[in-house]
A = this chain, B = another copy of it.
Amino acid sequence: MDDLRTREACVACDAHDPLAPLRDQFALDAVDAEGLIYLDGNSLGVLPKATRDRVRQVVDEEWGTGLIRSWNDAGWVTLSQRIGDKIARLIGARAGEVIVADSTSVNLYKVLSAAIALVDSNSANAGAGGAGAAERKRKRNRIVSERTNFPSDLYIADGLARANGFELVLVDADEIAAHQDDRLAILLLTHVNYRTGRMHRMADVTRAAHAAGGVIVWDLAHSAGATPIELGEADFAIGCGYKYLNGGPGAPSFAWAHPRHTAWMDRVGWSQPLAGWFGHAAPFEFTTGYRPAAGMARFNCGTPPVLSLAALECGVDTLLAAERYGGLGALRTKSVVLGTLFVTLVQSRCAGYGLQLASPLDPDARGSQVSFAHREGGYAIMQALIARGVIGDFREPDLMRFGFTPLYTRYVDVWDAVDRLLQVLASGEWRDPRFATRAAVT
């Protein structure tokens, strides 16, 4: 990083960045004019330019003029599948293996239900038959997850565990290996931790879970679109549309199951619990009885939100555009350099102000975000930094998060962000009471 320790060096690096043209895909004129540095793409990705026209087209033409005919004529009915096929290219899956529908939490409910059904389909899981779901005496009765996994994942898992007679066991990351035993039913992990940015070695963890006889469910919310993902032999995955996929606030989520599992579902006729008409084999026959669609399509539920889907597709396209620049591998390389540069600059320039690196120093163990803890002033420092035009975010009790989305973050952004952070710390301006008031969304 020595060669990037001046602003001029960062500017020069941007000038020679082969990925720089990818930034032109985004509507950042107003942001740049405001002098804003946006380091929160890990929470809400920025607006792609193409989204503006596409959403206008969907609203004015497809809905406004095409009306109901657009379900067929504009392809609304297959939109979810089309976007799913695109997302598949980002996560090491194949066409047909990914659906886009509902929210991340709702999709987790579906795939965790599938994982539970899979666990119970294993006749070796003694006592799975007979008694009611919540009272079964299973040999494998543990759903294991990280204590610092994203809370919504834990809420969904806990509810399903209680309803189905499993025990949700929360452990620290370094205790996961010790819980890969014959009580492990399902291992539920988020690939990149939302708090620390710590990244699991997906293939290794999947292998270990399988060796222990468990089913693994990956949440890709904080990694899909930021780093190459090879789901490989994993069992289920879900992910988020509005972070690195740039799909817009509250964009629909995606879900994946390994084809061996959808083949099993087809064989036994398994339905996920949210058995709505868009997951039916023939929704427009309007039959009274539910018959799940083949493959992943069974994971659809209600009528899809077309406006939000159209925006999501534009976001996904911004990542597919990177394929001719080296794709996610090249993006990941840049992301690692950006993150490491940030760590290096903060540790050298902001030393002595009480910041503690809360992310792994090893870039191979870190996703596309860096977190620093500040015991006394995490929230206020972030607010003061936002007032100086650097947008990161805060997570209780003391974490400041900074996301480095390689599609649009520049090297000079990192330099300037650290420079402003230093000003906030050196001036002590963050101690101003106006920075202490918590907003509804932190």
| A residues at B contact (CB < 8 Å) | 27, 30-31, 34, 38, 40, 43-44, 46-47, 51-52, 55-56, 59-60, 62-65, 67-72, 76-78, 102-106, 109, 131-136, 147, 150-152, 154-156, 158-160, 163, 165, 170, 242, 248-253, 271, 273-277, 280, 283-290, 301-309, 311, 386, 391, 393, 395-396, 439-442
Once A60-B27, A440-B77 are accepted as A-B contacts, the answer to whether A303 and B156 lie under 8 Å apart by CB is: no
Instruction: Give the contacting residue for A52; candidates B60, B103, B242, B441; CB below 8 A.
Output: B60
Question: Which chain B positions have C-beta within 8 A of A155?
Answer: 275-277, 280, 290
A55 touches B290 (CB 8 A): no
Bound-state Cα–Cα, A76 to B249, Å: 9
A274 contacts B152, C-beta separation under 8 Å = no
Question: A132 touches which one: B132, B274, B306 (CB < 8 A)?
Answer: B132
**Could you tell me if A59 and B64 are in contact, using CB atoms closer than 8 angstroms?**
no
Partner of A286, one of B27, B303, B396: B396
Residues of chain B within 8 A (CB-CB) of A44 are 63, 67-68
Cβ-defined contact, B307 with A55, below 8 A: yes
Cβ contact within 8 Å between B47 and A59 = yes
User: In the assembly, what is the distance between CA of A361 and CA of B122, in Å?
Assistant: 56
Q: List 16 A-B contacts (CB under 8 A).
A: A27-B64, A38-B67, A47-B59, A68-B393, A72-B439, A102-B103, A102-B302, A103-B301, A150-B277, A151-B277, A152-B283, A158-B290, A159-B271, A160-B273, A249-B305, A284-B396
Q: Does B105 contact A277, Cβ atoms closer than 8 Å?
A: yes
In the bound complex, residues from chain B placing their C-beta under 8 Å from that of A147 are 288
Q: Is the CB of B306 within 8 A of A250?
A: yes
Once bound together, how far apart are the Cα atoms of A143 and B102, in whole Å? 26
